[in-house]
């Protein structure tokens, strides 16, 4: 997935988990070739508060200042995944089988780049979704962005 930054994920995961949270994912949003926004999603069984986000943001800022993985100015945003929870990994897709999802693909697949449908299964690197009565088996690598659709 394009928005899932694996290097930043690996850098930040130990910090977030050491604080007792799950690192759901990292979005590195770029404009004009430079990072404009670094969005970090965290979760916990008890939910996420503004205080939790502040604590994680403080710790992540320190790591980013020392490691300096992003050149130039950017804004850091730490938040809960919310009702429209983003799906970053195949494990996320497996966890939410049976839920409605919205997908944006890197390129059109059978004439469609955007799909909204029910997540059926996640076999062998594919994501199977039923949208508008048609079953689509989409290569995971072609998913640019995905999130749950609140019911």
pTM, to two decimals: 0.84
- Average pLDDT (46-53) is 96
Q: Is the pLDDT of residue 4 over 60?
A: no
Cα 82 to Cα 43: distance, rounded to the nearest angstrom? 9
The reply to whether 74 and 47 lie within a common domain is yes
Q: Give residue 103's pLDDT band: very low, low, confident or very high (50, 70, 90).
A: very high
For the cut 80, the answer to whether the pLDDT of residue 5 exceeds it is no
Q: Do 95 and 51 have their domain in common? A: no
Are residues 59 and 110 part of one domain?
no
Supply the range of the domain harboring residue 106. Answer: 90-148
Please state whether beta strands 22-31 and 34-43 pair in parallel, antiparallel, or not at all (unpaired).
antiparallel
Token pair recorded at residue 73:
């100015």
Residues 14 and 73 occupy one common structural domain: yes
Is the domain of 101 the same as that of 144? Answer: yes
Q: What gap in Å lies between CA 88 and CA 67, rounded to an integer?
A: 24
Asked if residue 55 and residue 105 are part of one domain, the reply reads: no
The CATH number of residue 70's host domain is 3.30.300.70
Helices marked H in the chain — which ranges?
6-18, 50-67, 90-95
Among 79, 107, 134, the domain boundary falls at 79
CATH number for the domain including 115? Answer: 2.30.30.180
Domain membership of residue 84 (yes or no) is: no
Of the three residues 79, 103, 133, the one that is the final residue of a domain is 79
pLDDT in tens, 8-42: 889 999 999 999 999 999 988 877 777 789 999 99
Does residue 94 share a domain with residue 75? Answer: no
Do residues 19 and 42 lie in contact, with contact meaning Cβ atoms separated by under 8 Å? no
Average confidence score pLDDT of the chain: 91
136 occurs within a structural domain: yes
Judged against a pLDDT cut of 70, whether residue 3 lies above it is answered with no
Strand duo 112-121 + 126-131: pairing: antiparallel
How is the beta sheet containing 143-148 ordered, strand by strand? 134-139, 126-131, 112-121, 100-109, 143-148
Ramachandran area for residue 22 (φ above 0: left; ψ -120 to 50: alpha; else beta): beta
Q: How far apart are CA 148 and CA 151, in angstroms?
A: 9
């Amino acid at each position: 997935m394009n928005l899932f930054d694996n290097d930043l994920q690996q850098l930040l995961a130990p910090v977030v988990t050491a604080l007792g949270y799950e690192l759901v994912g990292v979005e590195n949003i770029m404009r004009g070739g430079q990072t404009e926004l670094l969005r970090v999603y965290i979760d916990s069984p008890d939910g996420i508060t503004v205080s939790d986000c502040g604590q994680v943001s403080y710790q992540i800022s320190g790591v980013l200042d020392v490691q300096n993985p992003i050149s130039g100015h950017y804004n850091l945003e730490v938040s809960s995944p919310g009702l429209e929870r983003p799906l970053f990994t195949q494990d996320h897709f497996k966890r939410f089988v049976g839920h409605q999802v919205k997908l944006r693909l890197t390129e059109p697949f059978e004439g469609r780049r955007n799909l909204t449908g029910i997540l059926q299964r996640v076999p062998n690197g594919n994501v199977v979704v039923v949208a508008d009565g048609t079953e689509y088996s989409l290569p995971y690598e072609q998913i640019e962005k995905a999130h749950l659709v609140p019911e």
